[in-house]
A and B are shown apart, each in its own frame.
Chain A
Amino acid sequence: MSLLEIRDLHATVGDREILKGIDLTVDAGEVHAIMGPNGSGKSTLAQVLAGRELYQVTGGQVIYDGNDLLAMSPEDRARAGIFLAFQYPVEIPGVSNMYFLKAALNTVRKSRGLEELDAFDFLSLVKEKMKLMEMDQALLNRPVNTGFSGGEKKRNEIFQMAVLEPRLAILDETDSGLDIDALRTVAGGVNALRGPERAMIVVTHYQRLLNHIVPDFVHVLSEGRIVKSGGKELALELEESGYAGLGIEDEEEAVGKV
Chain B
Amino acid sequence: MSDSTNTIETFANQEYKWGFVTDIDSDAIPRGLSEDVIRLISAKKKEPDWLLEWRLKAYRHWQTMKEPTWANVHYPPIDYQDIIYYAAPRSKKDGPKSLDEVDPELLKTYAKLGIPLQERELLAGVAVDAVFDSVSVATTFKAKLKAQGIIFGSFSEAVQEHPDLVRQYLGSVVPSSDNFFAALNSAVFSDGSFCYVPKGVRCPMELSTYFRINAKDTGQFERTLIVADEGAYVSYLEGCTAPMRDTNQLHAAVVELVALDNAQIKYSTVQNWYPGDKEGKGGIYNFVTKRGACRGVNSKISWTQVETGSAITWKYPSCLLIGDNSVGEFYSVALTNHFQQADTGTKMIHIGKNTTSTIVSKGISAGHGQNTYRGGVKILKSASGARNYSQCDSMLLGDQCGAHTFPYLEVKNTSSQVEHEASTSKIGEDQIFYCRQRGISTEDAVSMIVHGFCKEVFRELPMEFAVEAQKLLGVSLEGSVG
Contacts and interface: CB of A to CB of B under 8 A. Distances in A.
Nearest to A85: B437
Closest 6 CB pairs of A and B: A94-B452, A104-B438, A78-B439, A90-B434, A74-B436, A95-B452
B434 A50 contact: no
Contacts of A108: 438-439
A75 B453 contact: no
A164 interface: yes
A78 B425 contact: no
A103 B452 contact: no
Interface of B: 425, 428-431, 433-442, 444, 448-449, 451-453, 455
Contact of A94 (B437, B444, B453): B453
Contacts of B451: 94-95
A177 to B, nearest CB: 17
Nearest to A104: B438
B409 to A, nearest CB: 26
Given A92-B431, A92-B449, A75 B439 contact: yes
A50 B434 CA distance: 10
A111 B442 CA distance: 16
A192 to B, nearest CB: 20
Nearest to A111: B439
Contacts of B437: 50-51, 74-75, 77-78, 83-84, 86
Interface of A: 50-54, 73-75, 77-79, 83-84, 86, 89-96, 99-101, 103-104, 107-108, 111, 143, 160, 164, 258
A54 B432 CA distance: 12
A258 B438 CA distance: 16
Nearest to A81: B439
12 contacts: A74-B437, A75-B442, A78-B436, A84-B437, A89-B434, A90-B428, A92-B448, A93-B453, A100-B435, A104-B440, A143-B452, A160-B438
Contacts of B442: 75
A94 B428 CA distance: 14
A244 B436 CA distance: 38
A54 B437 CA distance: 14
B452 A107 contact: no
Given A94-B449, A103-B448, A75 B430 contact: no
A99 B430 CA distance: 19
A12 to B, nearest CB: 18
Q: Which among B439, B449, B452, B455 has the highest number of chain A CB atoms within 10 Å?
A: B439
Contacts of A104: 435, 438-440
Nearest to A89: B434
Contact of A79 (B425, B429, B431, B439): B439
Given A90-B431, A100-B438, 5 more contacts: A52-B433, A78-B438, A94-B452, A94-B455, A103-B448
Given A95-B448, A103-B444, A143-B452, A90 B439 contact: no
B439 A107 contact: yes
Nearest to A109: B439
Nearest to B427: A92
Contacts of B440: 75, 100, 103-104, 107
B176 to A, nearest CB: 43
A74 B436 CA distance: 6
Contacts of B430: 90, 258
A73 B436 contact: yes
Q: Which among B428, B435, B444, B453 has the highest number of chain A CB atoms within 10 Å?
A: B435
Contacts of A51: 436-437
Contact of A92 (B436, B439, B452): B452
Nearest to A79: B439
B70 to A, nearest CB: 32
Q: Which among B434, B438, B448 has the highest number of chain A CB atoms within 10 Å?
A: B438
Nearest to B442: A75
A93 B452 contact: yes
Nearest to B454: A94
Contacts of A53: 433
A11 to B, nearest CB: 16
Contacts of A101: 438
Contacts of A143: 452
B355 to A, nearest CB: 30
Contacts of B436: 51, 73-75, 78
Contacts of A95: 448-449, 451-452
Contacts of A86: 434, 437
A111 B438 CA distance: 12
A52 B434 CA distance: 9
Contacts of A103: 440, 444, 448
Contacts of B435: 92, 100, 104
A96 B449 CA distance: 10
A51 B438 CA distance: 12
Contacts of A52: 433
Nearest to A77: B437
Contacts of A75: 436-437, 439-442
A108 B177 CA distance: 59
B331 to A, nearest CB: 15
A91 B442 CA distance: 16
A125 to B, nearest CB: 16
A94 B452 CA distance: 4
Contacts of B453: 93-94
A95 B431 CA distance: 11
Contacts of B433: 52-53, 74, 90, 258
Contacts of A78: 436-439
B472 to A, nearest CB: 18
B444 A93 contact: no
A92 B434 CA distance: 9
A86 to B, nearest CB: 7
A174 B390 CA distance: 41
A166 B8 CA distance: 45
B8 to A, nearest CB: 32
Contacts of B439: 75, 78-79, 104, 107-108, 111, 164
